[in-house]
A and B are shown apart, each in its own frame.
Chain A
Amino acid sequence: MIRVVNLHKSFRSQKVLNGVNLEFETGKITTIVGTSGCGKTVLLRHLNALLRPDQGEVLVDGVDIAKVSQKELYQMRNKFGVLFQGAALLDSMTVFDNVAFPMREKTKRTETEIKKKVEDRLEQVGLGSMGDKFPAELSGGMKKRAGLARALIMDPQIVLFDEPTTGLDPVLATSIHQLIVRTHTTFGFTGVLVSHTIPQVFDISDYVAMLANGVIVELSPPKNFCASQNPIVQQFIQGKTEGPIQVL
């Protein structure tokens, strides 16, 4: 389980997170929504210690991930898979090598075992025949699929998705959402999504958390989230310019 306690983060004089408290239930998908630039990705990057908090704790199975040694951190990161916004595939490698990369670097599996598992994962994300392509030869949707295959190759307990559908057309976005649900059902990981594609993202989430003004203003199942009386949530859902959310 991941628990965020009183998390603060500033970049120079700009305060981004101002006391975030949030709990991610094991085995469920929690989506963090909020306006562009509100700090969703900053919060996500704290979960696997890609960023360190100025104050507060990020507890992963009870251990503060920001305070462990480098060796312990890398052991804890083995619990995570991450799908980055642009997929972050290593562009000098083929799709197959990208997906195989964590296994080759971190396990002593034979090349035959690696090949079998990579082919399985690529098949599961619908890229069975794309293994020999380079990232530059793939469309945006394919890159995300390959990124997801790489994120899942080490059977992580927790998968972080940083805006998995940004830049994709609605059809592709839906297919990526369906893929997330399918892989979640298969692997049973704890999913943390950062997104602002509402209401589509509600269909795949067990919980929705809204980040605004550096704090979590709402955390509830999608149905309750939509019915929330919080004016910030309502303004965000309805996409209004007038309201408590400042439009810059």
Chain B
Amino acid sequence: MLSFVGRIGRFATEQIAGMGAMFSFLMSAIFLAFRRPAKIYLIIFHIKTIGVESLSVVALSGFFTGMVMGFQGYYSLRQFNAESWLGSVTALSLLRELGPVLSAFMVTGRTGSAMAAELGTMRATEQIDALDSMAINPVKYLVSPRVIASLLAMPLLTAIFDVIGIFGSYLVGVSLLGVSSGSFFAGMESSIVFHDVYSGIVKSLSFGLIITWICCYKGFHAPPMATGVSQATTESVVLSFVLILVWDYFLTSVML
């Protein structure tokens, strides 16, 4: 009985220590991001990998999400003779929820997993130790630029997801199902307020931070072996997805 309680205690202690280490990792990455010298060239490089290289997958998923919403929204709204609200429903859903969440999922799958795998491999091949032994802070060199890059890239990717999603919904609703183009845009214009856009931006910023935080932490602390890298990659993606959804719930409840 005592050993059982001991195991629970040890497990709880390890979990709390792990959370503390993760939080401290994030804090040092943010703190070091503002310490000179700024790694501008690294930030630009990571904006390219996180933002530019995720553009096609974000655009494609945004387009099909919008088209699906066009269909689903139309058939739901038709039951209440409210097809003209399709533009409003689509835009609100995309701006407030689907845009930030789904683009964050896409970036996690495409870039977050790559971050974890890259840093995990660097750990396994002692490249992170090499940086440390050269008196170059590996968190400042490897993590902080990624954090800044993701904060800059995520809102832009989300905005692109939203615009292309609305376009997809327009194609299905207006061109395919015959909703009036005027009512599509008029509904959108009358129901969207700045707060909707603002909440989407806040969400995308925080999701960007979550993705880089989790994926870099998992990669950075991956056990130095092949299975360690794969385990870190899997854990980083799963944990990012879960945290994005949990954080989305909290933000929605606060910002609604």
Of A48, A84, A101, the contact of B126 (CB 8 Å cutoff) = A84
- Assess whether B2 is interfacial by the CB under 8 Å rule: no
Cα–Cα, bound, A88→B133 (Å): 11
Report chain A residues within 8 Å CB of B122. Answer: 90
- Stretch of A70-78, A119-127, A166-174, A200-208 with 4 or more beta carbons under 8 angstroms from chain B: A70-78
- The 8 A CB mask of B66-93 against A (1 = contact, 0 = none) is 0000000000000000000000000000
Interfacial residues of chain B within 134-186, with CB under 8 A of chain A in the complex: 134-137, 141
- The 8 A CB mask of A95-110 against B (1 = contact, 0 = none) is 0000001100110000
- Assess whether B235 is interfacial by the CB under 8 Å rule: no
Contact check, B134 vs A105: say whether CB atoms are below 8 A apart.
yes
For this complex, into which size category does the number of interface residues on chain A fall? 20 to 34
Tell me whether A75 and B125 are in contact in the complex, defined as CB-CB below 8 angstroms, given that A84-B130, A90-B130 are known contacts.
no
Interfacial residues of chain B within 111-143, with CB under 8 A of chain A in the complex: 122, 125-127, 129-137, 141
Report chain B residues within 8 Å CB of A86. Answer: 125-126
Contact check, B135 vs A74: say whether CB atoms are below 8 A apart.
yes
Contact check, B126 vs A88: say whether CB atoms are below 8 A apart.
yes
Cα–Cα, bound, A82→B126 (Å): 11
Interface residues of B (CB under 8 A from A): 122, 125-127, 129-137, 141
Nearest first, the 10 A-B pairs at minimum CB distance are A88-B130, A74-B135, A88-B126, A77-B135, A82-B133, A84-B126, A102-B134, A88-B127, A105-B136, A78-B135
18 intermolecular pairs with C-beta atoms under 8 Å apart: A50-B132, A50-B133, A74-B137, A77-B132, A77-B133, A77-B135, A80-B133, A82-B133, A82-B134, A84-B126, A88-B125, A88-B127, A88-B129, A89-B127, A91-B125, A91-B127, A101-B134, A105-B134
